[in-house]
Amino acid sequence: MLTVGSYQEMDQNKYEENWLIVRKPDDLPDFVKHIPALSPSPDLFQKYREACQEKTFNQKFFNEVYVPQFVKELSENAEALTLLENLTDMSKTKNIMLGCYCETEAMCHRSIIAGILLGMGAEINTRQEYLNYYKLYQMMKKRVKVDNWL
């Protein structure tokens, strides 16, 4: 079973594996695996940081800027695609935590990852509404032009 959560929730006694899906970790305990391929690109992370500084990081920004760019990045990244497939298979036999530093999951890339994994058939503890991200992911993998995904 896969679980998504924050870095603070990672626990070597509760999960067989703990994956930190961020670009650059602040600190990395021995029991945590760093998986940057499932994190936003430096460009997208910069857009996120600027939006936070300008106080424009909100649901609209997340839906219109962040989600489409992140899903596009994932759909074009062979390493990320392989990791998502492997996680889907591993979810049936292992307890794995996927985490990052964001406090609000609903506006974090881990919610997007969770929705994609849910759509791929992973056993994952997540919200059903995240399945919208899987639909967008499928369209982008097929290189379909997406104007409004919501």
User: Each residue of 45-72: pLDDT tens digit?
Assistant: 999 999 999 999 999 999 999 999 999 9
Spatial distance between the Cα atoms of 102 and 83, rounded to a whole number of angstroms: 21
Pair of tokens at residue 93: 């036999």
Within 13 Å of residue 112, how many CA atoms lie on the same side as its CB? 25
pLDDT at 142: 83
Cα torsion 9, 43, 25, 92: sign: positive
The residues near 51 (Cβ < 8 Å, ≥ 6 apart) are 57, 61, 65
Q: pLDDT confidence of 149, banded at 50, 70, 90? A: low
Tell me what pLDDT residue 150 has: 62
What pLDDT, on the 0 to 100 scale, is given for residue 103?
A: 87
SS (H, E, C) 86-142: HHHHHCCCCCEEEEECCCCHHHCHHHHHHHHHHHCCCCEECCHHHHHHHHHHHHHHC
Q: pTM of this prediction? A: 0.93
Higher pLDDT, 148 or 30: 30
Q: For the segment 92-146, what is each residue's pLDDT rounded down to a tens digit?
A: 999 999 999 998 899 999 999 999 999 999 999 999 999 999 999 998 888 777 7
Nearest of 89, 92, 95, 88 to residue 113 by alpha carbon: 88
Dist. CA 131–CA 119, nearest whole Å: 6
pLDDT at 148: 65
Measured from the Cβ of residue 105, the count of other Cβ atoms closer than 10 Å reads 18
